[in-house]
Structure 1
Amino acid sequence: MSATPVIAVLGLGEAGGHFARDLVTSGATVRGYDPRVVAPPGVHPADTAAQACHGAALVLSVNSAAAALDALSQGLPGCAPGIVWAELNTAAPAVKEAVQRAAGDAAVVADVAIMAPVPPRGLGTPMSVSGPGADRFAAIMGPLGTPVEVLEGPVGLAATRKLLRSIFYKGMAAAAVEALAAARAADLEEWLSGNIADELTRADAATLDRLVTGSRRHAVRRTHEMQAAAELLDGLGVPARVARASRDWLRDLA
């Protein structure tokens, strides 16, 4: 690898913009393309995705799941044969696999999962990567300051890990948002906020087992409890999306 690798960044929004700026600081030559965002200082702006990819050793596709295949089709004509195409978009494994099929032999695809919020860490955000381009992605990004975990497996494995984790973390966040909205409507937000904070502080390695075991053991009673909670939210004028989903899961467990 060159001491000053050339890296293309397609998508210069929040995540892509942070990565591009930090890559420049780390000594890489960065070519960026985003039709809606001005390139950060130090990034060489390109008029097209193909132009950004010309001469690059690595492409970071940081767009959206819906734009993943379009980004590939627009950028690939400017790529050297065998370039590492890093698919960083948060997408289902099937989307990552579709990118790999569309790339064919023209690029070596790396399925990259960003495992924490990008701000404020930027390039220091931990990433997991799988697929045929995983080792080469790590060899380029690791020395530039990115903590990279290489997973032995196909494209789609890193995406699967990230989304499984997201079900818990984003689901927990949604439950907190819904509960606090209801508490606000009931003039009990300060009390519930403190209660939730105390529960999170006390959580330990045995908490998960208690949550799963307790849900199965007391599924019938908790089904009725969450139905009552949903009715409470109805009365407070708060959509009971999480409460009713919890009720349905408990009903299935029962």
Structure 2
Amino acid sequence: MSSAAIAVLGLGEAGSRISADLVAAGATVRGFDPLVSPPPGVFAASSDADACRNAGLVISVNSAHDAVDALTQSLGAVTPETIWADFNTSAPALKQELARVAGDTVQVVDVAVMAPVPPTGLRTPLTVSGPAAEAAAGLLRQFGAQVQVIDGPVGQAATRKLLRSVYYKGLAAAVVEALEAARAAGLEEWLAGNIRDELEKSTAATLDRLVSGSETHAVRRREEMAASAELLDSLGVPPRIATASRDWLADLAARRGRT
């Protein structure tokens, strides 16, 4: 399979960088994107199906919205030996729908991209799940990819990525909202330094303190976040994260029988 062509469907920021890195690593790559020309060294295809002909591996990185259509339009151009690697960020249900649509026509694997692609391209950490995960990982590793195989069906890699996203993207949202409010209050530099200090002091025990502290002090922290939301309102900053935190703490207190 290593000598077979690789198809890349979607040549946006991620797809262009991945396809260029594959070419640099010695792969024969055919790419298709209706809006973007392929980078140097990538052969331009006229459609998704055209890109997939004679491909041993298909990397679908167009969008979650287009993922099923791209697969459906390409079923006549692939074989049961072809691996269809869906790199799109989507819910596990969509990954499972791809596997259902594919049936025995092509081997679908669920790939989760675990960090932004532009800095490291093909070497961005990947996790992959599905019956053909080991085969997909082996092929990608030949070209320098860092791949972790997750035991289980298609959708397991997406589940892990999205669970992590709740934490990491939620943290980012909280930080950005807090800094916006601090800027409005003339305290951005102070708060930025405070956040940096807290992040630097974080240890493995920080997780336990976050969980246990929320459970023990849910009522007090609910009131604290209610006051925080009022402050942001007064500063003209929509308190989306502060309000969500207040409501979550209220639910937590109710579940613990506290008021």
Fold conserved between structures, TM > 0.5: yes
- The alignment status of 1:167 with 2:166, answered yes or no, reads yes
Query: Residue in 2 aligned with 1:202?
Result: 201
Query: Residue in 1 aligned with 2:46?
Result: 47
1:25-36 superposed matches below 5 A: 25-36=24-35
Does the CA contact (< 8 Å) of 1:82 and 1:105 recur in 2? no
Between the aligned partners of 2:199 and 2:37, the Cα distance in structure 1 is: 40
Deviation at 1:83, TM superposition (A): 1.1
Between the aligned partners of 2:236 and 2:69, the Cα distance in structure 1 is: 41
1:68-147 superposed matches below 5 A: 68-147=67-146
Note the residue ranges of structure 2 that are not aligned, 5 or more in a row: 254-259
Q: CA RMSD in A?
A: 0.9
Deviation at 1:96, TM superposition (A): 0.2
Tell me the alpha carbon deviations over residues 86-138 of structure 1, each in whole angstroms, 9 at most, x when there is no partner.
01100000000000000111011100001111111001011010001201111
> Quick check: 74-83 or 238-247, which moved more?
74-83
1:171-186 superposed matches below 5 A: 171-186=170-185
Query: Residue in 1 aligned with 2:151?
Result: 152
Does the CA contact (< 8 Å) of 1:54 and 1:80 recur in 2? no
Between the aligned partners of 1:229 and 1:74, the Cα distance in structure 2 is: 51
Deviation at 1:168, TM superposition (A): 0.3
Between the aligned partners of 2:80 and 2:248, the Cα distance in structure 1 is: 49
Does the CA contact (< 8 Å) of 1:85 and 1:133 recur in 2? no
Deviation at 1:75, TM superposition (A): 2.2
Aligned length: 253
Does the CA contact (< 8 Å) of 2:11 and 2:36 recur in 1? yes
Task: Describe the SS at the equivalent of 2:14.
Answer: helix
Query: Residue in 1 aligned with 2:59?
Result: 60
Query: Residue in 2 aligned with 1:243?
Result: 242
> Quick check: 213-222 or 62-71, which moved more?
62-71
Tell me the alpha carbon deviations over residues 55-82 of structure 1, each in whole angstroms, 9 at most, x when there is no partner.
0000000011111101111222221333
Between the aligned partners of 2:75 and 2:228, the Cα distance in structure 1 is: 52
Does the CA contact (< 8 Å) of 1:62 and 1:88 recur in 2? yes
Query: Residue in 2 aligned with 1:216?
Result: 215
Between the aligned partners of 2:211 and 2:51, the Cα distance in structure 1 is: 49
> If the length of structure 2 is used for normalisation, what is the TM-score?
0.96
> If the length of structure 1 is used for normalisation, what is the TM-score?
0.98
Q: Hey, which bits of structure 1, 4+ residues long, moved more than 6 A? A: none
> Quick check: 76-85 or 213-222, which moved more?
76-85
Does the CA contact (< 8 Å) of 1:127 and 1:149 recur in 2? yes
Between the aligned partners of 1:177 and 1:241, the Cα distance in structure 2 is: 11
Task: Describe the SS at the equivalent of 1:253.
Answer: helix
Between the aligned partners of 2:100 and 2:251, the Cα distance in structure 1 is: 38
Percent of aligned pairs sharing the same letter: 63
Query: Residue in 2 aligned with 1:23?
Result: 22
